[in-house]
Amino acid sequence: MESNLPYTSVVNSLDSKSFIETSSESVERILSNGEKESIFESKLEEISGRRVAWFKLGDAKNPRALKASDALKISKLITTAIELEIPVVGSISITGFDLRDGITALAAWGALVRSLSSASGVIPTFIIVTGPCVSSVSLLLGIVDIVIFTEDAHAFVSAPSTVAGITGAQVSPTDLGGYQIHANQSGLSSFVVQDEEEALVVVLDVLSYLPSSCWQIPPKVLSQDPTDRQCNIAESVVPNSSSASYDMVQVINDIVDEDTFLELRFSFAPNILTGFARIGGISIGIIANQPSRLAGTIDIEGSQKAARFVQMCDAFNVSLLTLVDTPGFQPGKDLEWRGMIRHGAQLVHAYGAASVPRVSMVIRKAYGGAYIVMDSKGLGNDICFAWPNAEIAVMGASGAVQILHGRKLAQIEDDQERLRTKNELEQQYAQRFCTAELASERGYVDDIIEPSQSRELIFRAFEMLETKREELIKRKHSNSPL
């Protein structure tokens, strides 16, 4: 099977391999009856120079029920990790609660959930799922920052037998909660890999962009890629037509340091791109519209995906770069019924609350509320660039002309004359209301730049903003539109 990782690892895989071999030896013991069983193990460990709090519970071949003692030990480990300001990395294969522990296991699981919640936004948290992760235990996956599924993993709250008993529908564990479901449909999985060894490499990759706690800044790496390099690929790949498709990943790769873009959840809501990268060695988080998928529109899943990523970057002091090319929100009755307003507000809230350095760049078009949502000047970005042909407006010229002049056009009987008039009106509207120059004059764009200069100017912006500090309002917490 193909891996779900669209990148080449930038860490030394030998470090992760030796770490796994050491850990595998330590998570087995000979029981009193002479049987060998995979057991729970937790410890402080160093991976490729980064200290982490590591725990393992079961594995792909030997899944394990969650005992009360296991949950309490993990809870204690997480508390220790918070005190030491180091990330938590767990590898699990859990069949549910140990029935022999009864309600004690449930209570201990509650303590574990609370400790993970306390760690949220304080230290990076990772869980690698190597086998089953079922029943209420699976809710742990929704709390941590990064979830990595192996191809042997599956996760669900209600088992196939429960689904069949209540709904009558027969479904396999794979179809209910296999790695493909969580990579493509639920968005739970940040990465899919073949095995635990590859998962540890991914953990190291992600950690290379993050600090060990919210009180630190991300590590800065010496880059051999010149910061004044021209972005000729980015300039050439974007079509002049505002409706033509292209791959935003090519633009991203040309702007950031070579081979540093690490995309998260790339199979889920592919109309929005999220991932880590570096520019001039500075760690940044990237959110971008993807014109090749749903024309770069924003839907419910895209809003959730981007909002979660913005919050994680803001929690761990990772600067944000937003690349904008969107015609608006994805329309549809189904989306509105499912809560497009509420879920779209999640992205607004995440950006509005973010205090890290924020740079945005309008590449081609930014219309309506989607323009605001994608970290506009009004939402609080620090610096906003735009390419010369960028269109920034309430809506595109075609839709605007239909609303403003629809009755006039309908009265023109000759088809060719109607089309000529429509095109003329659209051109007039675009020149008058949709230009980057107009947005710049009103202070919504800080600078209109040549596409080839994008990398150099974005780097300079982040370099200037490195000392940015914001005083946050003192309160218990915000009431975000979850």
Q: What is the pLDDT of residues 250-262, one digit of tens each?
A: 999 999 999 999 9
Average pLDDT over residues 37-63: 79
- Boundary of a domain, candidates 207, 241, 256: 207
In the predicted structure, residue 463 carries a pLDDT above the cut 70: yes
Is 217 within a domain? Answer: no
Q: Which amino acid is at 227?
A: T
Condensed to tens digits (0 to 9), the pLDDT of residues 315-351 reads 999 999 999 999 999 999 999 999 999 999 999 999 9
pLDDT attached to residue 9:
44
Is 346 within a domain? Answer: yes
Is 405 within a domain? Answer: no
State the Cα–Cα distance between residues 333 and 336, nearest whole angstrom.
5
Average pLDDT over residues 163-183: 92
Alpha carbon dihedral 104, 108, 109, 110, in 10-degree steps, equals 110
Angle between helices 454-464 and 248-255 (to 10 degrees): 60
State the Cα–Cα distance between residues 437 and 390, nearest whole angstrom.
9
pTM, full prediction: 0.89
Whether 67 and 200 map to the same domain: the answer is yes
Whether 283 and 196 map to the same domain: the answer is no
| Helix or strand holding residue 79 (H, E) | helix 68-84
Whether 135 and 242 map to the same domain: the answer is no
Location of structure tokens 């191809």: 151
Whether 198 and 273 map to the same domain: the answer is no
- Boundary of a domain, candidates 207, 223, 256: 207
pLDDT attached to residue 87:
97
Whether 195 and 252 map to the same domain: the answer is no
Whether 201 and 239 map to the same domain: the answer is no
Backbone angles phi, psi at 273, to 5 degrees: -100, 135
- Residues whose CB is less than 8 angstroms from the CB of residue 273 and which lie 6 or more positions away in sequence, other chains included: 248, 249, 252, 263, 266, 286, 287, 288, 289, 290
Would you say 100 and 69 are in contact if contact means Cβ atoms under 8 Å apart? no
State the Cα–Cα distance between residues 62 and 196, nearest whole angstrom.
14
- Residues whose CB is less than 8 angstroms from the CB of residue 410 and which lie 6 or more positions away in sequence, other chains included: none
State the Cα–Cα distance between residues 273 and 287, nearest whole angstrom.
6
- Residues whose CB is less than 8 angstroms from the CB of residue 247 and which lie 6 or more positions away in sequence, other chains included: 237, 290, 291, 292
Whether 260 and 200 map to the same domain: the answer is no
- Residues whose CB is less than 8 angstroms from the CB of residue 407 and which lie 6 or more positions away in sequence, other chains included: none
Is 212 within a domain? Answer: no
**Residues, the chain, total?**
482
Average pLDDT over residues 13-34: 38
Whether 241 and 190 map to the same domain: the answer is no
Establish how many alpha carbons lie within 13 A of residue 330's alpha carbon, considering only the half-sphere containing its beta carbon: 25
Whether 166 and 199 map to the same domain: the answer is yes
pLDDT attached to residue 256:
98
Is 87 within a domain? Answer: yes
Would you place residue 2 in the very low, low, confident or very high pLDDT band (cuts 50, 70, 90)? very low
> What is the percent of the chain with per-residue pLDDT over 70, rounded to a whole number?
91
pLDDT attached to residue 43:
74
Write the burial class of residue 14 (CB in 10 Å: 0-12 exposed, 13-18 middle, 19+ buried).
Answer: exposed
Q: Look at the chain and report how many structural domains it folds into.
A: 2
Tell me which of 401 and 136 has the higher pLDDT.
Answer: 136
Report the phi/psi class of residue 243: left, alpha or beta, with left for phi > 0 and alpha for psi in -120 to 50: alpha
Domain that holds residue 294: 232-396+434-467
> Token pair for residue 153?
């993993």
The CATH number assigned to the domain holding 141 equals 3.90.226.10
- Residues whose CB is less than 8 angstroms from the CB of residue 119 and which lie 6 or more positions away in sequence, other chains included: 78, 81, 82, 88, 125
Would you place residue 40 in the very low, low, confident or very high pLDDT band (cuts 50, 70, 90)? low
pLDDT attached to residue 41:
67
Whether 79 and 186 map to the same domain: the answer is yes
Whether 168 and 253 map to the same domain: the answer is no
pLDDT attached to residue 394:
76
State the Cα–Cα distance between residues 385 and 64, nearest whole angstrom.
52
> Token pair for residue 151?
């191809």
pLDDT, mean over the chain: 88
Is 411 within a domain? Answer: no
CA 80 to chain CA centroid, nearest Å: 27
Whether 263 and 149 map to the same domain: the answer is no
Is 425 within a domain? Answer: no
